[in-house]
Amino acid sequence: MVAVIRQANPYRKMAKATQEHKTCPNLLERKFDQGEPEKVFLTDITYLRYGSGHWAYLSCVKDGATRQILADSVAATLELPIVERTLQRLLERLDGNIHPEAILHSDQGMHYTHPKTRLLIAKAGFKQSMSRKGNCWDNAPMESFFGHLKDDVDFSDCQTIDEVRVRVKEYISYYNSERYQWTLKKMTPDEFRGHLLAS
């Protein structure tokens, strides 16, 4: 008797993958600043070229109201842990103080549609929001930070990814505490957070 071995149905596999990776509606509609610190969180990933043609990847979370960079992670690959580490660092910083209407907004990249990421976000108490497909303006403040970073920081002389990490940390510290912004009433992000909490 010859056993008949069924071949995997590629369409069924695709359907399963589509079912597992789910997108979310855009809850913000570009209303990034809702007047409260630590209510709206924007996140994304960008690439950084360093040394002689090497690549690093930076994942960040930005506060929609204060413009502070609250968490980051630099990695040598684009695998899922870069986002998991970033979110864990955000949760450590918030220390359990999650706004009851907290929103985490991203693009529709596979890191954010992945079941593990969605579960982590839901367990933390965030509502998940996503930009419309291919629309960078739906996450403009995050894109703006990446643009400033790449304009202001030269990574070409970095020889290791650890050197890239140090340079990113230094820039985030500068951006949060020293870089005055017109849209923040000419305050730094750190100063503007204090202003919002005092008002």
Residue 5 domain-assigned (yes or no): no
Residue 141 domain-assigned (yes or no): yes
Residue type, 180: Y
Q: What is the pLDDT of residue 32?
A: 85
SS3 162: helix
What is the C-alpha separation between 175 and 186, in angstroms, rounded? 13
Residue 86 domain-assigned (yes or no): yes
Beta carbons within 8 Å of 191's beta carbon, 6+ residues apart:
184
Residue 59 domain-assigned (yes or no): yes
Residue 12 domain-assigned (yes or no): no
Beta carbons within 8 Å of 128's beta carbon, 6+ residues apart:
24, 103, 104, 106, 112, 118, 121, 122
> What is the separation, in whole angstroms, between the first and last Cα of the chain?
81
Could you tell me the residue range of the domain that residue 160 belongs to? 24-198
Residue stretches of the chain with pLDDT short of 70: 1-19
Q: What is the pLDDT of residue 4?
A: 46
Q: What is the pLDDT of residue 19?
A: 55
* pTM score: 0.88
Residue 76 domain-assigned (yes or no): yes
Q: What is the pLDDT of residue 12?
A: 52
What is the C-alpha separation between 50 and 48, in angstroms, rounded? 6
Residue 185 domain-assigned (yes or no): yes
The total number of structural domains in the chain stands at: 1
Q: What is the pLDDT of residue 137?
A: 84
Tens of pLDDT, residues 147-177:
999 999 999 999 999 999 999 999 999 999 9
Q: What is the pLDDT of residue 21?
A: 83
Q: What is the pLDDT of residue 17?
A: 47
Q: What is the pLDDT of residue 134?
A: 78
Residue 3 domain-assigned (yes or no): no
CATH of the domain at 54: 3.30.420.10
